[in-house]
Amino acid sequence: MMPTPLNLYSIFDYSQKMWPEKWIITRTHSGTHRYQYRDFGERVQRLSSALKALGVKPGDRVATLAWNNFRHLEAYFAIPLMGAVLHTINLRLPAEHLGYIINHAEDQVLLIDEDLLPLMVPIRDKVPTLQHLIVMGEHPNLSPNPITSTLDYEGLLAKAAPEMDYDPNWPEDAPLGMCYTSATTGNPKGVVYSHRGIALHSLAMGLANTSAISESDTVLPIVPMFHANAWGLPFSSVWFGANIVLPGPAPTPESLIRLMSEEHVSVAAGVPTVWLSVAKVLEHHQTPLYLRMVLCGGSAAPPALIRTFEQNFSIPFAHAYGMTETSPLATFSRLKSTLSGLAENEQLAIRSTQGALVPGLFMRLRRNNEDLPWDGKSMGELWFKGPWVADEYYRDPRTEDSFEDGWLKTGDVATVSPEGYVKLVDRTKDLVKSGGEWISSVDLENAIMAHPDVFEAAVIGVPHPKWDERPLAFVVLKENRQLTKEDIINLLAASFPKWWLPDDVIFLDEIPKTSVGKFLKRALRDQYHQYLAGSPPEHGAS
């Protein structure tokens, strides 16, 4: 067979020949921008030409700091097509991390939305590799432009050559893009995507067995284009000829609903919090929608949310799971035809899982250096292998902690059912490891939080002289409610084995949280590290 490489050129060339009449629609500050693939293709080539004229060379990193809009999409193609590396930067990062990753990636050029320029003010002088800032927008002559000596995106394109001589044989293992992912501690870690990985990931997204992106679709990626390539939707949509709708700057639930309705969106993808807020609006303002699928990922969607969409709105709701390191699609929740005879609540339980492995990848469930069975009970860490799974962090010694023997160790603990459905139960770092057995902190927290008097709860493992670790529960009650330690333990005893029960229950006014509102369990672990140190060896799970 021919050694034709799997690269972005083959996607772009195919798309330009097959789908010149398809549409790309962007919500902008001032209204709606729309153009066709053929116009997109010319502007992609102009952008490549312009970057080349600026001195960008194959392998150079070109960063973007932008909302989901058509210029960002142009950058998605123009940068890798000329052999450079598309580095999408999360616009919600603190300035310190922003500076770190620009320096770590050694970005040469940054394409930035005009309304995001203020983000660069505090760090402009601290990123010496960055030679050019190109400002994207309709009115790039900001007054006052907070940063001097920027370039104007539209001006560059206007004078650039409308054709670019791309190399059809660009090697498939060459880097196409990169994305930094937050770490538990320390600076973000970089993941580099190859042309081959993106091409295969795109094929996986076009399969009838998974998200089935096709030319009949109109796709709305609500997930930001700086989050794992907007889950790969820009690449798969362009390849398979879907119309693309981009929500632009800071979309609200109302603006998303209007876009979905007006543009007849068939597939929309976002995290659960987006769908929760969309559902809240839809419940009070019925709007005609044409969705064949809501694609939900990023974190677990509550079954109630799935039920709301499917039963109240008649919109199929599909759960997917993955991470920056898996490009990101790793599992997709679609009910197997052989399970269609199950009762509705059993079907919902399956569809609320993270789903089944996507074709092309390998998955293991690991614990204590052993593979666990897919029995729906055994809890193990998920490991992935495959052509769109990272094999390292970019120039980062933390690679050692997350990769072993050619596999990615996700740090996610799950069970896998005999039918292959993955159900996340915890993070490895949050698991309580008691006497060689694993206790899911998340399961205990959910059970405690199900009590009507509880506002929130966290469970951590703390060192124990006999059992290695034992669970401690932290509970915040709703105002003016009263519960005792015994109430909590009795509640849990109804659902969990004795050795899962926390050694103590500590009532707090508030669980410490991270800047994005997640429990900061590390703070609790630091504070309560010695809490059970003096426990008698026979205490605990007996």
Summarize as ranges the residues that interact with a second copy (CB under 8 A). Answer: 1-4, 6, 10, 13-14, 17-18, 21-22, 168, 173, 192-194, 196-197, 200, 203-204, 206-209, 212-216, 239-241, 327, 336-338, 356-357, 359-362, 374, 385-391, 406, 408, 420
At residue 281, the 3 state secondary structure works out as helix
The catalytic position among 74, 325, 381, 445 is: 325
The span from the CA of 216 to the CA of 48, in Å, is 29
How many whole angstroms separate alpha carbon 22 and alpha carbon 70?
A: 14
Active site residue 64: no
Q: What is the per-residue DSSP string for 440-485?
A: -HHHHHHHHHTSTTEEEEEEEEEEETTTEEEEEEEEEEPTT----H
CB of 5 vs a second copy, minimal distance in Å:
8
| Residue 259 zone, left/alpha/beta (φ > 0; ψ -120 to 50; rest) | alpha
Amino acid at 410: T
CB nearer to a second copy: pick between 191 and 460: 191
What is the closest distance, in whole angstroms, from the C-beta atom of residue 232 to a second copy in the complex?
13
- For residues 113-125, one letter each, b for 16 or more C-beta atoms within 10 angstroms of the residue's C-beta and e for the rest, the string is bbbbbebbeebbe
For residue 210, the minimal CB distance to a second copy (Å) is 9
Nearest C-alpha neighbor of 265 from the set 230, 303, 293: 293
239 versus 309: smaller Cβ distance to a second copy: 239
Nearest distance in Å: CB 245, a second copy = 15
Quick check: is 513 catalytic?
A: no
Extract the tokens encoding 512.
């410490």
Report in angstroms how near the CB of residue 198 gets to a second copy at its nearest: 9
Specify the 3-state DSSP secondary structure of 244: strand
CA nearest neighbour of 81 among 41, 133, 122:
41
Annotated catalytic residue 23:
no
Annotated active-site residue in 181, 392, 429, 456: 181
At closest approach, how far in Å is the CB of 417 from a second copy? 11
Nearer to a second copy, 77 or 474 (CB): 77
- C-alpha to C-alpha distance for 456 and 517, rounded to whole angstroms: 12
Q: Which amino acid is at 81?
A: L
* Cβ proximity to a second copy, 5 vs 461, nearer residue: 5
Q: Which residue, 150 or 243, is less far from a second copy as judged by CB?
A: 243
180-205 residues labelled b (16+ CB within 10 A) or e (exposed): bbeeeeebbbbbbbbbbbbbbbbbbb
Of the listed 67, 388, 438, 500, which one is catalytic?
438
- Indicate left, alpha or beta for 435 from its phi (over 0: left) and psi (-120 to 50: alpha): left
- Which SS3 state, helix, strand or coil, does residue 232 take? coil
The residue among 293, 278, 147 whose CA lies nearest residue 214 is 293
181 in active site: yes
CB-wise, 209 or 287, nearer to a second copy? 209
Q: Which of 126, 385, 429, 433 is catalytic?
A: 433
The residues annotated with a catalytic role in the active site are: 181, 325, 433, 438
